[in-house]
Chain A
Amino acid sequence: MLLPAVKAAALLFFVVVVQVTIVGSMGIFGGAPDLMLVMLVAVALLNGAVFGAFAGFWTGLLLDVALIQTLGFSSLLLTLAGFWTGRYGETTGRNRSHAPLVSVAVVTVLYAVAALILHFMLGDPASARIALVDALPPELVLNLLLAVPVFALCRRLFAPPPPARTQEVEFG
């Protein structure tokens, strides 16, 4: 359990730095991909709800520190995103080929809506039209494009340990 946690912490640290310095400023079709969110979804999907919740909290904390924004804002949203994705993976989705795409699509939309609501609750000015109509569709498409390679990478990094031994089954 410790090795995957260390790997996930390092990977998410790297991804947050890349997101805030490079990916976040990319303007592609009026939106920017959220590599950090896609990576979190992939990590949570493969490792379960509790792991996903911790990964989300850690990612959110790094993001809030890097962007000098209200501490706890992203942690709250990403904890819930990681938890939900992990639970989806534990129950139904993990071994289905469409699971990464479904979870990335759902989490991208829910994260945007939840962030908008939280901004409103904290009194930050936020335009629902810009966030949900202008920016969300291109972000959703770009995140879905990223989902498959990112999930494949995470699958290699967080592959379950190979079976310790083969079982001999004797009939009769």
Chain B
Amino acid sequence: MRVAALGSPVRRTVAPSYPRTSGPLKRRLVVGLLVLASLAMITVYFRESPNGGLHDFQSVGASALRPFEVGAQRIARPFRDAYGWVAGVFHAKSENERLREEIERLRQQMVINQAAVQQYEDLSRILKYKRGRNFPQDFPRDRAVTASVLASPEGEFQQRITIAAGSSSGIRQYDAVVTADGLVGHVSKVLRDQALVTLITDKESAVAARDASTGAVGILRHGEGSALFLDHVPKNKVVKAPDLIVTAGQQQGRLPALYPQGIQIGYVTSVSQTDIDEFQNVQVVPFVDFSDLDTVLVLVSDKARPNAP
């Protein structure tokens, strides 16, 4: 310890300080202008057309960010795979048992389906039956656009992802988006090199869907957590677990069918109903793991699409 004494020099270190403190006027002016700029951007963005200046700015900015996002995805991929592998090991045993039962059930189903398909084709030819867009027949693999996922859903508010393909790849608004597991969502906004995909887990999303076994049709909406529920299924229709749920490809009310029929969505986990409810309460678990989307397929078809709202 050094003691200061009269007549002796003492070295005192100046305490480190953060000098970046502004005057009150400058502070208020800066924050006021930035808030005003943000509000102006929100207003203009809402009012202008999709070809407006701010949308163009966003498109250019998103294109500039793209290489960085792709780079980050590539760096993170091994770590995410490792995490997925470790998590998968814990579920492997129960998953294996469930899959064996499912394979057995599907084998039996396949035999029935093959006979039904043959019968359907024969009858369609005889009756000259005109059908709507069907998956995968009307969506040739070579026309589909494969795109990597650049940005994941941000928070609980909006279940949307950004993909690395846009109008330059032939993608249009309302195109259906799938993975090998099933339906992901639809294209809600298209930029030149990127597109925004609204997931079926989004609050705004509604998909006309049907039970592949019984043909009961309803509207698939967002439910609790990652689950979905099939709404508007009348009580007289039969739905049971673990029925497969696929897109119906049918118009529901005034809303056109955005999705072609036949895309698998998930399976029924529970069905319940009460005396006061008009419809059944059908819980559906999607096949797609929305928290781990890496690559998606945008379905592009030559067939005309129904008009979107």
Contacts and interface: CB of A to CB of B under 8 A. Distances in A.
A53 B8 contact: no
Interface in A116-167: 116, 119, 122, 124-127, 130-131, 134-135, 159-160, 162-163, 166-167
A171 B34 contact: no
A160 B42 CA distance: 36
B38 A60 contact: yes
Interface in A36-72: 46-51, 53-54, 56-57, 60, 62-72
B42 A163 contact: no
B253 interface: no
Contacts of A106: none
Given A70-B46, A76-B38, A171-B7, A163 B19 contact: no
Contacts of B38: 57, 60, 72-73, 75-76, 79
Contacts of B151: 20-21, 24, 66-67
A15 to B, nearest CB: 11
Given A21-B152, A94-B18, 10 more contacts: A20-B162, A24-B152, A50-B26, A54-B34, A68-B162, A69-B154, A69-B160, A72-B40, A75-B34, A169-B10
Interface stretch (B139-147, B167-175, B188-196, B208-216): B188-196
27 contacts: A1-B20, A18-B72, A22-B73, A24-B151, A24-B152, A27-B291, A48-B21, A50-B27, A54-B30, A64-B58, A65-B65, A67-B154, A72-B40, A72-B43, A75-B41, A79-B38, A80-B31, A83-B27, A115-B157, A122-B42, A124-B158, A125-B203, A166-B13, A167-B14, A169-B11, A171-B5, A171-B10
B65 A171 contact: no
B9 to A, nearest CB: 5
Contact of A160 (B16, B30, B54, B204): B16
Interface of A: 1, 4, 13, 17-18, 20-22, 24-27, 30, 32, 46-51, 53-54, 56-57, 60, 62-73, 75-76, 79-80, 83, 87, 89-90, 94, 115-116, 119, 122, 124-127, 130-131, 134-135, 159-160, 162-163, 166-172
Which of A68, A73, A90 has most chain B Cβ within 10 Å?
A68
Interface in B32-72: 34-35, 37-43, 45-46, 54, 57-58, 61-62, 65, 68-69, 72
B4 interface: yes
B72 A65 contact: no
Contacts of A172: 6-7
Contacts of A13: 68
Contacts of B62: 65-66, 68
Contacts of B14: 163, 166-167
B12 interface: yes
B interface, over-half SS:
mixed
Given A126-B157, A168-B11, A170-B9, A71 B72 contact: no
B89 interface: no
B42 A72 contact: yes
Interface residues of B, number: 66
B46 to A, nearest CB: 7
9 shortest interchain CB distances as A-B pairs: A72-B41, A25-B152, A76-B38, A125-B203, A65-B61, A172-B6, A72-B42, A163-B14, A20-B151
B22 interface: yes
Contact of B16 (A25, A32, A67, A163): A163
A22 B72 contact: yes
Contacts of B156: 126-127, 130-131, 134-135
Interface in B126-159: 150-158
A160 B17 contact: yes
